[in-house]
């Protein structure tokens, strides 16, 4: 066994119902006195309560998915003009993305209070979109210094969006099993994250206001993002970055739709990883010997989970035009990591995308 693993420095708090208390304490711990509070419309009520407790000098409400460069530049200018010394973001991946865009150039610390399972709060990855192209990069300065998880804040997320967001988190786990810097440590984190999400999501669907399922999903989403931050971006995320940046498809549902197709594409080439993933997803039966079909077990386990939670199925339902598939495939092939378990060719990616566009069963496409 031989590998190199880097562990990111970050304080993580999970405590249902007490996020305001922790947020106030963490701002004080940093010695901050001029807070930029980033929160879009869905988080405005919580932001109002936070603003009473924190020394907020700037409220920023322009929160846009995939973070257009123009939005980032306006937020950075406002932060500089106001002289803020910390950025607090409340919301999903888009809110965290705006905060990261500010931190990238100002080097301000970020405190994140997530309201979805996006996981961006646990990675040093930033993303900006301009001229129909999403650019991503890695810089430790954008990693939030503190993350405060509170499952109460996810209860307002509708069940369908909770499912999509949870499957987006699961995509971090799956991609981490064979991403460019995958190693035994981040694979272990990914597998435990997958187990937690596979257990938590059905509980969220069955009891949307309950704490246990949503706590499990936040825990799983954190582990998933931590694994992804270490392992790097694999084929799945390259596909979704093109779909999101070029065609402005909704982030979490796009990941939820594409995930089973990438798993079905790659799993046959990595049976050991597929076997372990199948077990994490709750399908240990029939995985005792080398002759078992580990890829089928993994794809079947994911299919069962998706059926149980009512996952989104088709890219056409998200607004992708059918005639866009060749352009998407061309961009994906150019961006795909050379370490992907299977060769990434134009025809293969077009086939994968067409199945995802139609909502076909990916197990018939592998």
Handedness of CA 342, 348, 349, 351 (dihedral sign): negative
Token pair in block for residue 355: 């199945």
Confidence of residue 286 (pLDDT cuts 50, 70, 90): low
Range of the domain at 53: 11-154
Are β-strands 125-130 and 11-14 bridged in parallel, bridged antiparallel, or unpaired? unpaired
Distance of CA 8 to the CA centre of its chain: 17
CATH number for the domain harbouring residue 99: 3.40.50.1970
Confidence of residue 1 (pLDDT cuts 50, 70, 90): confident
Over pLDDT 70: what percentage of the chain?
97
Say if residue 125's pLDDT is above 90: yes
Average the pLDDT over 86-100 and give the result.
Answer: 96
Are 96 and 141 found together in one domain? yes
Q: Which residue has the higher pLDDT, 214 or 284?
A: 214
Q: Are 199 and 208 in contact (CB under 8 A)?
A: no
Are 166 and 203 found together in one domain? yes
Say if residue 291's pLDDT is above 60: no
Say if residue 292's pLDDT is above 70: no
- Asked if residue 2 is part of any domain, the answer here is no
Average the pLDDT over 235-241 and give the result.
Answer: 95
Are 138 and 207 found together in one domain? no
Are β-strands 146-149 and 110-114 bridged in parallel, bridged antiparallel, or unpaired? parallel
Say if residue 321's pLDDT is above 50: yes
Predicted pLDDT of residue 283: 81
Token pair in block for residue 257: 């739709």
Are 124 and 218 found together in one domain? no
Average the pLDDT over 261-286 and give the result.
Answer: 90
Are 341 and 198 found together in one domain? yes
Task: Give the three-class secondary structure for 141.
Answer: helix
Find, among 163, 169, 94, the residue nearest to 134 by Cα.
94
Are 168 and 281 found together in one domain? yes
Task: Give the three-class secondary structure for 38.
Answer: strand
CA distance 74 to 129: 14
Task: Give the three-class secondary structure for 135.
Answer: strand
Predicted pLDDT of residue 4: 87
Residues 64-83: tens digit of each pLDDT: 988 999 999 999 999 999 99
Residues 132-151: tens digit of each pLDDT: 888 989 999 999 999 999 99
Confidence of residue 260 (pLDDT cuts 50, 70, 90): very high
Say if residue 290's pLDDT is above 60: no
CA distance 28 to 55: 10
Are 246 and 139 found together in one domain? no
Confidence of residue 350 (pLDDT cuts 50, 70, 90): very high
Are 188 and 323 found together in one domain? yes
Predicted pLDDT of residue 205: 98
Query: Considering 123, 154, 185, which residue would you say is the last residue of a domain?
Result: 154
Are 131 and 195 found together in one domain? no
Residues 58-67: tens digit of each pLDDT: 999 999 988 9
Are 196 and 216 found together in one domain? yes
Predicted pLDDT of residue 288: 46
Predicted pLDDT of residue 258: 98
List CB contacts of 240: < 8 A, sequence separation 6 or more. Answer: 171, 251, 254, 255, 258
Are 89 and 186 found together in one domain? no
Predicted pLDDT of residue 65: 87
Token look-up 């880097």 returns 6
Say if residue 347's pLDDT is above 90: yes
Over pLDDT 90: what percentage of the chain?
90
- Asked if residue 5 is part of any domain, the answer here is no
- Asked if residue 4 is part of any domain, the answer here is no
Structural domain total, the chain: 2
Are 182 and 318 found together in one domain? yes
Say if residue 285's pLDDT is above 60: no
Query: Considering 99, 132, 154, which residue would you say is the last residue of a domain?
Result: 154
Residues 172-190: tens digit of each pLDDT: 999 999 999 999 999 999 9
Average model confidence (pLDDT) for the chain?
94
List CB contacts of 310: < 8 A, sequence separation 6 or more. Answer: 159, 160, 163, 205
Q: Where are the alpha helices (DSSP H) in the chain?
A: 19-29, 44-53, 69-82, 93-106, 159-176, 184-206, 211-231, 235-247, 251-266, 271-280, 294-309, 325-335, 346-358
* Predicted model pTM: 0.93
Token look-up 């779909």 returns 243
CB-based burial label for 81 (10 Å; 0-12, 13-18, 19+): exposed
Query: Considering 118, 135, 154, which residue would you say is the last residue of a domain?
Result: 154
User: How far lies 247's CA from each of 18, 118, 253, 316, in Å?
Assistant: 38, 20, 13, 12
CA distance 331 to 20: 43
Dihedral angle over CA of 15, 21, 23, 24, nearest 10: -160
């Amino acid at each position: 066994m031989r590998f190199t693993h880097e562990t990111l420095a970050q304080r993580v708090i999970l405590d249902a119902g007490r996020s305001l208390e922790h947020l106030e304490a963490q701002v004080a711990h940093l010695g901050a006195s001029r807070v930029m509070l980033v929160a879009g419309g869905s988080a405005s009520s919580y932001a109002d309560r936070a603003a009473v407790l924190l020394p907020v000098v700037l409220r920023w409400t322009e929160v846009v998915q995939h973070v257009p460069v123009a939005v980032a530049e306006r937020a950075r200018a406002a932060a500089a003009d106001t002289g803020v010394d910390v950025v607090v973001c409340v919301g999903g991946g888009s809110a965290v993305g705006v905060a990261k865009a500010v931190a990238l150039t100002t080097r301000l610390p970020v405190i994140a209070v997530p309201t979805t399972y996006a996981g961006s709060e646990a990675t040093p990855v930033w993303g900006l979109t301009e001229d129909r192209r999403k650019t991503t990069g890695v810089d430790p300065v954008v990693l939030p210094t503190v993350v405060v998880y509170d499952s109460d804040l996810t209860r307002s997320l509708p069940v369908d969006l909770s499912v999509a967001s949870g499957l987006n988190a699961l995509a971090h786990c799956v991609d981490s099993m064979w991403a460019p810097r995958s190693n035994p440590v981040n694979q272990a984190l990914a597998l435990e994250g997958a187990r937690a999400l596979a257990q938590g999501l059905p509980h969220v669907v069955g009891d949307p206001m309950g704490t246990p399922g949503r706590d499990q999903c936040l825990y799983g989403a954190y582990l998933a993002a931590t694994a992804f931050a270490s392992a790097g971006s694999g084929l799945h995320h390259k596909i979704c970055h093109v779909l999101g940046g070029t065609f402005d498809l909704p982030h979490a549902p796009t990941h939820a739709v594409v995930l089973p197709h990438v798993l079905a594409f790659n799993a046959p080439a990595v049976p050991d990883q597929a076997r372990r993933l199948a077990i994490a997803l709750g399908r240990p039966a029939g995985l005792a010997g080398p002759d078992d079909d580990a890829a089928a077990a993994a794809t079947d386990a994911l299919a069962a989970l998706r059926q149980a939670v009512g996952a989104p199925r088709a890219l056409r339902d998200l607004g992708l035009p059918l005639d866009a598939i060749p352009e998407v495939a061309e961009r994906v092939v150019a961006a795909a990591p050379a370490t992907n378990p299977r060769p990434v060719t134009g025809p293969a990616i077009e086939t994968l995308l067409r199945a995802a566009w139609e909502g076909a069963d990916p197990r018939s496409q592998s």
